[in-house]
Structure 1
Amino acid sequence: MFLELEKEVYHHVGIDWWLEEVKLLIQPWWETDSHTVRHMVLVKPTKTLEEDRKSVRNLLGLTKEEDWPTFNLSSMDLFIWNCRGAGNARFRRNLRELVRLHQPDMMVLMETKVEISSMGMFFNNLGYTALTHVDPIGRSGGIWLLWSPSQLNVRVQNASSQIITATISRQDYPDWVLSAIYASPNICLRDKLWNDLSALAQHTQDPWLVAGDFNDYSSVEDKRSFSSATSQNLSQSQRNSQKFSDRISSCNLMDLGCVGPRLT
């Protein structure tokens, strides 16, 4: 973060589930002792805590006497992996370790490159005894959705070579919709995928998570060959990234970001 001297800026942040936004005032600050001048940044809320609480109570329709509602929003753990081939010992070894570490309730595997029938009882032995799948065409693509029926219920709405959409239900939690994506590298087929997603966006009322491999990028910085691109290629990359960003916005989707190495 860079802050120009003598300037104030406002930074919007989300705090917990019940606040739409909190506005923080960020100010430059200098502290001088006998030897050095320390440059710091002072961050403080623009409203008092009492004013923020009053705003939240009004938002929730609570009186002064009513307690804050409490929710446990940690519904389930979901594991999504573009495995780039599931028909080898390395995949099985890595997946066993990932399941041991994270114990996901549901898994989405993409670009499997083999049919689910080739896996035998492998997933059953890991505890995932329910599944829906789209097998690859030849050695291209494949989406597998696997879960433990003792933990949740999955109702598949539709499935194609690029998308599986399902409603996820779990006791004591609201239903939500998952669209697991493996987008085709073919531009025309990818256009059809986004037409389907746009239609889903218009008719889906429940919370909706769209996740997977879109074979696209929302910023030219996310493209591996960006540094060596010509001006013509760069211009085309910028148009492509803008198109992808526009599609995300048109579906009222929000990029959740990621943590970890770039280009993964």
Structure 2
Amino acid sequence: MIIVWNVRGAAGNAFGHAMKDMKKRLKPSLVVLVETRCSGINAQKAIKRMGFKYQEIVEANGMSGGIWILWDDENIKLKALEKHHQFLHCEVNGLRGSKWLFTAIYASPRAAERQLLWESLKSMSRNINGPWLLAGDFNDIKTPEEQRGGIKVNERKCNKFCSNMNDCNLIDMGTEGPKYTWKGPIVHLGISICT
């Protein structure tokens, strides 16, 4: 099981306790936290509070971004192949017995930067022959049905997102949990769980 969670800040004690409880209940193989909004010594303190043994991190840029991949199983070998402020691309061994690629994503909320992310992903996809899992927050939606309320959905942006996915030969696996996980400044626990 892989848990992927846009946490919108991981340094707080309340989040650390919630993560520790979730870790105990669900026993995930990997935990991916995006938009951690902390780095350096604050990140190390937060990870220690959560009780993880191993980590691979893309540092936050001030109070934005940040990607953490965390795990405890010493049999899982995760090797960072490329780090970028919008993604962490890794090779994973020892999980389900085979080698595969994993890219944790925290896409910029700015469309021009997001397009640079997709250019990188398209370039990577041309050299990938085996299993490749991408997960995280793409700051985009695939269809208008993925949004409720707020400003009218820009279908051109949805089509662009789908086109980018198709260009990388990606398949949407869906998620478990609440369908809508973000409402204005209120965030509901919305995680993607891949098993």
TM-score, normalised via structure 2 length:
0.85
Larger radius of gyration: 1
Q: How far has the Cα of 1:127 moved from its partner?
A: 4.8
1:125-147 Cα offsets, whole Å, 9 max, x none, are 65522212111111011101122
Q: Which residue of 2 aligns with 1:23?
A: none
CA contact (8 A) 1:105 1:151 kept: no
Q: Which residue of 2 aligns with 1:179?
A: 103
Unaligned runs of 5+ in 2: 182-195
Q: Which residue of 2 aligns with 1:143?
A: 67
Taking the aligned partners of 1:195 and 1:207, their CA distance within structure 2 comes to 20
Is residue 133 of structure 2 the alignment partner of residue 217 of structure 1? no
Identity of aligned residues (%): 30
Taking the aligned partners of 2:96 and 2:147, their CA distance within structure 1 comes to 42
Taking the aligned partners of 1:156 and 1:255, their CA distance within structure 2 comes to 24
CA contact (8 A) 1:112 1:143 kept: yes
Q: Which residue of 1 aligns with 2:166?
A: 249
Q: Which residue of 2 aligns with 1:153?
A: 77
Bigger drift between 129-138 and 154-163 goes to 129-138
Cα RMSD after superposing both structures: 1.9
Work out which of the residue numbers 90, 113, 119 in structure 2 matches 1:166. 90
Is residue 62 of structure 2 the alignment partner of residue 133 of structure 1? no
Q: How far has the Cα of 1:122 moved from its partner?
A: 5.0
Taking the aligned partners of 1:80 and 1:161, their CA distance within structure 2 comes to 17
Structure 1 runs of 4+ aligned residues shifted over 6 Å read none
Bigger drift between 145-154 and 214-223 goes to 145-154
Unaligned runs of 5+ in 1: 1-76
Taking the aligned partners of 1:219 and 1:245, their CA distance within structure 2 comes to 9
1:190-241 Cα offsets, whole Å, 9 max, x none, are 0000001111111012200000000000011222336x63xxxx5xx11110
Is residue 116 of structure 2 the alignment partner of residue 192 of structure 1? yes
- Which secondary structure state, in structure 2, belongs to the residue aligned with residue 154 of structure 1? strand
Q: Which residue of 2 aligns with 1:65?
A: none
Q: How far has the Cα of 1:98 moved from its partner?
A: 0.5
Q: How far has the Cα of 1:152 moved from its partner?
A: 0.5
Superposition map of 1:95-106 within 5 A: 95-106=19-30
- Which secondary structure state, in structure 1, belongs to the residue aligned with residue 126 of structure 2? helix
1:28-69 Cα offsets, whole Å, 9 max, x none, are xxxxxxxxxxxxxxxxxxxxxxxxxxxxxxxxxxxxxxxxxx
Taking the aligned partners of 2:17 and 2:52, their CA distance within structure 1 comes to 16
Q: Which has the higher contact order (CA 8 A, sep 6+)?
A: 2
Cα 1:259–1:78 change in 2 (3 A) is closer
Is residue 124 of structure 2 the alignment partner of residue 207 of structure 1? no
- Residue 245 of structure 1 aligns with an amino acid whose one-letter code is C
- Residue 179 of structure 1 aligns with an amino acid whose one-letter code is T
